[in-house]
Amino acid sequence: MLNNQCPWDQYEPATRHFCEAELCQWITKPAESWSNIGFVLIGAYLIHKASKSNRKNLSLVGICSILVGIGSFIFHATATRWGQVLDVSAMMWLLSLPLVLNGARLKVLKDSQVKMAYALFSLLSTVFITFFTKWGIAYFGVFVAVGVFSELKLFLNKANKVNYKPYIKLLVTFFVALGIWITDTFKIICDPNNHIFNGHAAWHLLCALAVYYIYEFYSQFPENKLES
């Protein structure tokens, strides 16, 4: 590059880095970046599936999956703080869906409040991540924990017969992915010069599969008021 400057050097760097070494090029981390194609493909498929099934509310799962893919691609391609904000914000938009859907199932939210609650969760998440970017992983963990515990409460209530097979697949897929994420993040299993496929790329692909199971699980419940 001219003046020994890389394409994204003018921007504030990200607060979080993973195993793959940065390259001085437009896509600084190829493996971490291109593996986000899984979110885009799964998202497009879920939007199509929701349209065929006339489940407008669940099309949001597909839309959020695509946004996660785009945001994560930008983050890993640029290794910038603003890219990180886009990435984590999109993840929070996706994770807000199970929270409000479970809120409705627990009767904590009325149908008329679901859409507003989702917008509020998403907006506040974006604001929080913008100002407290380095806490993004912890914030992500809180959303996951609340989602799982709210589902556990619903399971213990046994108010309705629910098919938990997709949810079990979701949990298994996610926690396998999380284990791989840990080995990559803390460089337990790490080859920084592998720009084709690595642990974080596997995390992306498995999480994309987990998004599919989110759709499958919530598709068994009646339509709610997330749609316009």
Query: Domain-by-domain residue ranges, the chain?
Result: 26-218
Q: Exposed (0-12), middle (13-18) or buried (19+): which is 7, by Cβ within 10 Å?
A: middle
How high is the pLDDT of residue 112? Answer: 86
Q: What is the pLDDT of residue 197?
A: 97
Given this model, what pLDDT does residue 218 score?
A: 96
**pLDDT given at position 227:** 45
What is the model's pLDDT at position 193? Answer: 97
Residue stretches of the chain with pLDDT short of 70:
1-3, 159-160, 224-228
Cβ(211)–Cβ(94) under 8 Å?
Answer: yes
- Pairwise CA distance, residues 216 & 201, whole Å: 23
pLDDT number for residue 157: 86
Q: Report angle CA 160, 165, 170 to the nearest 5 degrees.
A: 115
Alpha-carbon distance 76 to 108, whole Å? 37
Residue range 192-217, pLDDT digits in tens: 999 999 999 999 999 999 999 999 99
> Tell me, what's the pLDDT at 81?
97
pLDDT digits (tens, 9 = 90+) for 6-38: 999 999 999 999 999 999 999 999 999 999 999
